[in-house]
Amino acid sequence: MSFLSIDHLSKHFPSHSGNGKVCIFEDVTVKINKGEFVTVIGHSGCGKSTLLNIIAGLETPTEGGAILNGQEVTGPGLDRMVVFQSFALMPWMTVFENVALAVRSAYPTWSSQEIKAHVQKYITLVGLQGAETKKPTALSGGMKQRVGLARAFSIEPKVLLLDEPFAQIDALTRGVIQEELVQMWNATRNTVFMVTHDVDEAILLSDRIMLMTNGPSARIAEIVDVTIPRPRSRETIIEDEHYYKIRNHIIHFLVRHASHGQADESGEHTERSGPVEINFRDQATNQ
């Protein structure tokens, strides 16, 4: 039994014309093991954020469901913390207060000293010591998301849900924070479900990458095993023999699915077949 399983999940929205429904994605089935870092890549609008929100309990599926640790997800909870693309820090609270709000909720029995120490630990972990009393407005995008990560890690959730966490951060800072996230993940070995459209980010961070076709009626077409040993860093990862194979494979997939309907014309995958698993290590041994 896997730790987090997404079981035959479909999501329909009422269509704009009023009658009928638009299918965002359908029949998505994923199994994620404890401590695994899994990423979904797809074009904008393919429903990957909706998928993440359903796991978070912030949206309800039309069919199917998500099961975490043997329990079906029925609503949001402290065991599944989201890191938002828009940071979602309370602008009227300081950095410390933003993290403390989460810690206080997760550990309601703790004394204020315990809470303070715990908050301080995670603020230090993301390198924001000295900025505790600043308001989010006074921080750069990168620093804001560090607060978002500190808040998410601080409540030690069973699953971390990263919703395009670095999309609003400039490219140079993004690389630095990605590396920091690698280190934080190495230290905590959280189960992580991430949504992104940054291929390099996905390869650097993930154990497996799920490739999603375009909506409407998007589905997960392929699952790519990132066969690059850990620990990884941005500098060394590009030396790995599998790096460009994986990267090219994903980019080819994304280009093929750049416009609506093309995926079906290519006829590579029939409607109801499950996702194709891609593993370059196996391919190497097979050849």
Partner 1 sequence: MGIKSTQHPFFISVFFLGIFLFVWHVATISPPFDPTGKTEEELLVLEFNGDIVQTDDGRYVWNPEKEKVKGVPGPMTVAEKAWIELNEAFVIKGTNDHGIAFLVGYTVSRFSVGFLVASGVAILVGIILGLNQMLFRALNPFIQILKPISPLAWMPLLLYTVKDPKWTAILVVFMAAIWPTLATTAFGVNSLRKEYLQVAAILQLSWFKRLYTVILPGAAPTIVNGLRISFGSALVAVVPAEMLLGELGVGYLSWIEWNNLDIAGVIFAILVVGTVGVLLDSGFNKLAGLVTYRE
Q: Which is nearer to partner 1, 105 or 183 (by Cβ)?
A: 105
Size of the site for partner 1 (CB under 8 A): 24
Tell which positions 41-60 bind partner 1, by CB under 8 A: 56-58
200-224 residues labelled b (16+ CB within 10 A) or e (exposed): bbbbbbbbbbbbbbbbbbbbbbbbb
Tell me the C-alpha distance between 224 and 245, whole Å.
11
Who's near 277: CB < 8 A, 6+ residues apart? 222, 223, 225
Q: Is 74 in the site for partner 1 (CB under 8 A)?
A: no
Cα 18 to Cα 14, 15, 46, 76, 147: the distances in Å are 7, 6, 21, 29, 41
Give the range of 76-84, 186-194, 212-220, 248-256 binding partner 1 by CB under 8 A. Answer: 76-84
Residue 75 binding partner 1, by CB under 8 A? yes
Q: Does 242 bind partner 1 (CB under 8 A)?
A: no
Structure token digits, residue 251: 């980019």
Among 22, 67, 88, 167, contact with partner 1 (rule: CB under 8 A): 88
**101 binding partner 1? (CB under 8 A):** yes
Backbone angles phi, psi at 239, to 5 degrees: -80, -20
**Side chain identity, residue 160:** L
Counting contacts by CB under 8 A, is residue 105 touching partner 1? Answer: yes
Minimum distance of partner 1 from residue 123's CB (angstroms): 17
Q: Applying CB under 8 A, does 284 fall inside the site for partner 1? A: no
Q: How far is CA 222 from the centre of its chain?
A: 17
Taking the complex as a whole, the smallest distance from the CB of residue 132 to partner 1 amounts, in Å, to: 17
For partner 1, which stretch binds (CB under 8 A), given 19-27, 84-92, 126-134, 172-180? 84-92
Tokens describing residue 91: 């602008």
CA atoms within 13 A on the CB side of 90: 12
Q: CB within 8 A of 54, min separation 6: which ones?
A: 9, 11, 60, 61, 66, 73
Residue closer to partner 1 (CB basis): 24 or 160: 160
Cβ closest to partner 1, residue 31 vs residue 158: 158
Q: Is 92 in the site for partner 1 (CB under 8 A)?
A: yes
Under rule CB under 8 A, residue 66 binds partner 1: no
158 near partner 1 (CB under 8 A): no
Q: Which residues bind partner 1 (CB under 8 A)?
A: 56-58, 75-78, 80-82, 84, 86, 88, 90-93, 101-102, 105-106, 135, 137, 155
